Amino acid sequence: MNLNGLKQLARRIAVDRPLLLIVLIGSLSTWMTISYPEAFPHWDNFAAVLLDAAQSGILTVGMMILLVGGVFDLSIGSTLAFSGIVAGTLVKDFGASPLLAFLGGIATGFVCGSINGLIITRLRINALITTLAMQGILRGVTQLVAPAGVANLPEGFKPFGQTVFLALQSPFWVMLIVALLAWFAMNRTRFFRQFYYVGSNPRAATLSGIKVDFVVLIGFILMGTLAGLAGTLLASRLSNAVVLAGIGTELRTITAAILGGASLAGGVGTIPGAFLGVLFMSLIQNMLIIARVPVFWQSIVVGVVLLIAIGIDQLGRRGR
């Protein structure tokens, strides 16, 4: 390959976020394989990385759609915990059937998302404040309902999160289905394409006949529902609904989405980008664990990655 071709490749990688992530993931994996041959390149380790990516992935799909529409949700961690607790309480304390409990958990997320969306679009309180408030409220309600969580969930509730298919646990497959559906929706369907217009210029979107408030409302409902799904799956996987589940997930999720090409200014981002962003974050996490880096470092690394990703986004915009 000549020099010109190399230059073009470098430029494409810098502009094309998914491609950049693939290159990063590839080189990181190679490096890990060489540095930690006994711990990294094994199927069990990959399965763990993918399982870790499953929960963030489900959430990041929703967050990506919101960010494309120019908004975001900080209450997802609390929604996740609350939904798990509701599902656990239903199946354990109220004797509901596992399926009903599972659906109940998802419905809880649906309701939380609807409340967020209605407050934001009807009362015109901005997304930051609304979802920050909901983060606190829902976490408190969760502790109120089940101060110690719901432990030892019945056997019948386990299959949702613990079934192994093709050597991978079910949450990964659920995430894959969610991501594929969302990919199709954001790329192809008329309704979801509207998120790009709303995020790019809400005023112009209104003047083009798009019902901006309705689009935003659906975005939050979807986000809440996905958080409910993730929370219920987590409870099922751990056989245990944990009150403090999901703390800090909003940071990881927003970081993954921004890494994947979303911008706080709205209007850009893709589902494949979000998927790769999540994979990259899980890989970093895995790397830190294998390298025996203390846990608190993980949070520091995630914060730094978020700043770098936003920095790249800003630089890219200034270049225009």
Q: Does 189 bind another protein (CB under 8 A)?
A: yes
Q: Does 262 bind another protein (CB under 8 A)?
A: no
Please check whether residue 109 is in contact with residue 227, taking contact to mean a CB–CB distance below 8 angstroms.
Answer: yes
Nearest-approach distance from CB 200 to another protein, in angstroms:
4
Token readout for 111 is 């309701």
**Cα dihedral across residues 305, 311, 314, 316: positive or negative:** negative
Of 194, 255, 270, 285, the one binding another protein by CB under 8 A: 194
Q: Does 201 bind another protein (CB under 8 A)?
A: yes
Q: Considering only CA atoms, give the Rg of the chain.
A: 20
Nearest-approach distance from CB 281 to another protein, in angstroms:
26
Q: Does 188 bind another protein (CB under 8 A)?
A: yes
Residue with Cβ nearer another protein (158 or 211): 211
Please check whether residue 69 is in contact with residue 83, taking contact to mean a CB–CB distance below 8 angstroms.
Answer: no
Of 102, 197, 220, 275, the one binding another protein by CB under 8 A: 197
Query: For residues 248 and 263, what is the distance between their CA atoms, to the nearest angstrom?
Result: 20
Q: Does 267 bind another protein (CB under 8 A)?
A: yes
* CA torsion angle 318 201 268 111 (round to 10): 140
Residue with Cβ nearer another protein (69 or 149): 69
Nearest-approach distance from CB 270 to another protein, in angstroms:
14
Q: Please give the C-alpha separations between residue 68 and each of 243, 264, 314, in angstroms, as whole numbers.
A: 30, 8, 16
Nearest-approach distance from CB 186 to another protein, in angstroms:
11
| Tokens 């949702």, residue located | 160
Please check whether residue 223 is in contact with residue 65, taking contact to mean a CB–CB distance below 8 angstroms.
Answer: yes
Of 118, 193, 251, 310, the one binding another protein by CB under 8 A: 193
Nearest-approach distance from CB 11 to another protein, in angstroms:
16
Q: Does 208 bind another protein (CB under 8 A)?
A: yes
Mark residues 131-170: x for contact with another protein by CB under 8 A, - for none: ----------------------------------------
Q: Does 310 bind another protein (CB under 8 A)?
A: no
Phi, psi of 169 (to 5 degrees): -75, 155
Of 35, 129, 159, 191, the one binding another protein by CB under 8 A: 191
Q: Tell me if residue 307 falls in helix, strand or coil.
A: helix
Query: For residues 42 and 46, what is the distance between their CA atoms, to the nearest angstrom?
Result: 6
Query: For residues 173 and 131, what is the distance between their CA atoms, to the nearest angstrom?
Result: 29
Amino acid found at 187? N
Of 16, 103, 196, 251, the one binding another protein by CB under 8 A: 196
Nearest-approach distance from CB 114 to another protein, in angstroms:
22
Residue with Cβ nearer another protein (15 or 34): 15
**Torsion-angle region of residue 238: left (phi > 0), alpha (psi -120 to 50) or beta?**
alpha
Which residues contact another protein by CB under 8 A?
A: 188-191, 193-194, 196-197, 200-201, 203-211, 267-268, 320
